[in-house]
C-alpha cells in the first residue's frame, strides 16, 4: 500500500511587520496541518510571532529550540557538530509528518534562502519529499526601508558582509563596494565602527535594530559610541547615488 507524501512548504515570513507577509505565505500558513519553526530558549520564536493568530486553529506546532542560549562562535569546533545533530533531529520530526501524508509549513523569518536556518532542514529533506519554497521580504529590505535609505542605485555594487569578519577583511571588502549591509552586529560593533572609519564610510553608515518591528531603533553610526547592539541588528551604508 502506498501513501502520498506530504509537501514541505518553506515559507518566508518577512522582516517582522505581519502586514509584510505575502499573500502566498498567508494562504499556506492558514491551511497547514503542521507548522514548524525555530525559537530561542524561553522565547516565542520570531517567525512564529509574525504568524500570530493566522495559523489554522487545529494546526500541530513543532517548536525547534536552539541548543545554545548565547552565541557560540561559528569557529568553535563544537558548533557545527552540535548544530548538525540539532538540525538532523528537527528534519526527522518534520519527515515523520511528511511520511504520514501531512503537509508541513516551515516558518522562516525574512527570506528562507537568504541566511535562513530553515535551509539546513531544506538541505536534508528536499531530495526525498515534494517541496515548495516561498520567498519573503528580507530583514535587510525591512531595515533600509524603515531607515528611509534607498540602498543601491544604477550600477552600484552591494556587499552583504557578516560582522564576524576580522577588521582588515571588513575594511578590504568595504573599500571594494559602493553600498554595504553588515549583519550580525552584536559584540562585533566596536570592530565594525573601526572598519567603517578606516574605509571612510563612518559618516554615511546607519545602525538599525528591530527594523519594521516594535522597539525599532535607527541611529547614525557616529552616534553609537558606548551603546550595545543585539546580534540581530545591522549596519547600512547607502550607495553613491550617481544618477539623479
- Sites of contact with a copy of itself (CB under 8 A): 12, 14-15, 17-24, 26-27, 74, 80, 83-84, 87, 111-116, 119-120, 122-123, 126, 133-138, 141-142, 144-145, 148-162, 164-165, 172-173, 176-177, 184, 212, 241-244
Nearest-approach distance from CB 212 to a copy of itself, in angstroms? 8
Nearest-approach distance from CB 100 to a copy of itself, in angstroms? 25
Residue 49 region, left (φ>0) first, then alpha (ψ -120 to 50), else beta?
A: alpha
Q: What grid cell was written down for 37? A: 519553526
β-pairing, 131-134 vs 233-237, is unpaired
Nearest-approach distance from CB 47 to a copy of itself, in angstroms? 16
Q: With respect to a copy of itself, which residue has the nearer C-beta, 126 or 198?
A: 126
- Positive or negative: CA dihedral 233, 194, 205, 243: negative
Determine the Cα–Cα distance for residues 122 and 35; give it in Å rounded to an integer: 15
Q: With respect to a copy of itself, which residue has the nearer C-beta, 165 or 229?
A: 165
Nearest-approach distance from CB 213 to a copy of itself, in angstroms? 13
Determine the Cα–Cα distance for residues 143 and 140; give it in Å rounded to an integer: 5
Q: With respect to a copy of itself, which residue has the nearer C-beta, 67 or 100?
A: 67
Nearest to 26 by CA among 65, 53, 62: 53
Q: With respect to a copy of itself, which residue has the nearer C-beta, 100 or 154?
A: 154
Half-sphere exposure of 200 (CA within 13 A, CB side): 4
Nearest-approach distance from CB 225 to a copy of itself, in angstroms? 26
Amino acid at each position: 500500500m502506498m501513501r502520498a507524501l506530504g509537501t514541505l512548504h518553506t515559507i518566508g515570513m518577512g522582516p517582522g511587520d505581519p502586514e509584510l507577509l505575502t499573500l502566498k505565505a498567508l494562504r499556506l500558513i492558514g491551511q497547514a496541518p503542521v507548522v514548524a519553526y525555530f525559537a530561542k530558549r524561553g522565547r516565542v520564536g520570531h517567525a512564529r510571532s509574525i504568524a500570530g493568530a493566522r495559523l489554522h486553529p487545529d494546526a500541530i506546532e513543532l517548536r525547534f529550540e536552539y541548543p545554545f542560549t548565547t552565541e557560540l562562535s561559528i569557529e568553535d569546533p563544537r558548533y557545527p557538530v552540535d548544530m548538525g545533530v540539532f538540525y538532523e533531529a528537527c528534519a526527522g520530526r518534520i519527515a515523520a509528518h511528511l511520511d504520514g501524508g501531512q503537509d508541513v509549513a516551515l516558518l522562516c523569518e525574512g527570506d528562507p534562502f537568504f541566511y535562513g536556518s530553515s535551509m539546513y532542514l531544506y538541505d536534508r529533506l528536499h531530495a526525498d519529499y515534494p517541496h515548495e519554497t516561498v520567498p519573503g521580504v528580507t530583514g535587510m529590505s525591512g531595515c533600509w526601508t524603515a531607515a528611509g535609505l534607498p540602498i543601491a542605485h544604477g550600477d552600484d555594487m552591494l556587499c552583504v558582509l557578516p560582522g564576524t569578519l576580522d577588521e582588515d577583511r571588513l575594511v578590504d571588502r568595504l573599500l571594494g563596494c559602493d553600498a554595504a549591509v553588515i549583519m550580525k552586529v552584536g559584540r562585533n560593533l566596536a570592530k565594525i565602527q573601526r572598519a567603517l572609519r578606516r574605509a571612510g564610510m563612518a559618516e554615511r553608515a546607519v545602525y538599525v535594530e528591530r527594523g519594521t518591528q516594535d522597539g525599532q531603533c535607527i541611529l547614525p553610526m557616529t552616534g553609537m559610541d558606548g551603546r550595545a547592539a543585539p546580534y540581530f541588528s545591522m549596519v547600512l551604508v547607502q550607495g553613491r547615488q550617481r544618477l539623479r
